[in-house]
Amino acid sequence: MKLKLHVWRQKGPNAPGKLETYEANHVSPDQSFLEMLDEVNEVLVKEGKDPIAFDHDCREGICGMCSQIINGMAHGGQDRTTVCQLHMRSFKDGDEIFIEPWKAKAFPIIKDLAVDRGNYDRIIQAGGYTSCHTGGVADGNALLIGKEIADYSMDAAECIGCGACAASCPNSSAMLFASNKVAQLAVLPQGQVEAKRRVVAMLDEATACGFGNCTNHYECQAACPKGINVKFIAKLNREYLKALLP
């Protein structure tokens, strides 16, 4: 099939960007979206033009590197799907596709579709861990954790840190990202010790990074390729209230 692509091109962080139009003329429905872009790039390279820069790595939906707004939706809007798992069979011959980068103050553009997500790392560095030293810890079964608790924690822990939550949020809020780490650790006995300090530190860091405030649009959950539930944001809010108490 043939497609018309409108792709955001931007030379560098401070350069102006604009949409440019490309044609993809030999698209197979079995191709993944990124393989389609690979082919467009092969043509551009052969013509001596600058290929489209985009982040990608594992191409199986787990590393969280791929990050594109496709037709106005993070990761293309398909349920629980990253860009790399999107296949061209979900498009039709003659479709026009808009491909843009994450856009948020806290995700500055590096080039074209590649953005800097270092601020997500900063949020984790602020407190997204248990402060245990390597070695000298208790036996894994020393503290029992009920299956429901372990499952809840795992539901939260599935986050791949791709940035779709903040990118799809009308306020560029990173609350779903921060909340799943807060929730994952807050329910485990190993994480409860530092729960109060953690939630405050991570929230303050998110604000300092330039992410917006959550106003409960729930776009993040719809965009999340792992389907992480906004109930974890409510959990974060509860944890925050607990942290305010002496």
186-245 positions binding another protein, by CB under 8 A:
188, 190-191, 200, 203-204, 206-207, 210-219, 221-223, 229-231, 233-241, 244
Q: Which is nearer to another protein, 47 or 94 (CB)?
A: 47
**b/e sequence 122-147, b meaning 16+ C-beta within 10 Å:** bbeebbbeeeeeeeeeeeeeeeeeee
Q: How far apart are CA 183 and CA 195, in angstroms?
A: 9
Binds another protein by CB under 8 A, chosen from 24, 106, 164, 195? 106
User: Would you count residue 140 as binding another protein (CB under 8 A)?
Assistant: yes
Q: Which is nearer to another protein, 38 or 94 (CB)?
A: 38
Q: Which is nearer to another protein, 41 or 94 (CB)?
A: 41
Given CA atoms 24, 26, 32, 38 in this order, what sign does their dihedral have? negative
Binds another protein by CB under 8 A, chosen from 14, 134, 245, 246? 134
- Shortest Cβ 176–another protein spacing (Å): 12
Binds another protein by CB under 8 A, chosen from 92, 150, 197, 227? 150
- Shortest Cβ 183–another protein spacing (Å): 11
For 104, how many CA atoms within 13 A lie in the half-sphere containing its CB? 32
User: Would you count residue 173 as binding another protein (CB under 8 A)?
Assistant: yes
- Estimate the share of the chain in helix, then strand, then coil, as percent rounded to the nearest 5: 40, 15, 45
Q: How far apart are CA 34 and CA 53, in angstroms?
A: 11
Residues 34-93 that bind another protein (CB under 8 A): 34-35, 38-39, 42, 44-46, 48-51, 53, 55-65, 69, 71-73, 77, 81, 85, 87, 89
Contacts for 225 with CB less than 8 Å, ≥ 6 apart: 61, 75, 80, 81, 82, 85, 160, 162, 164
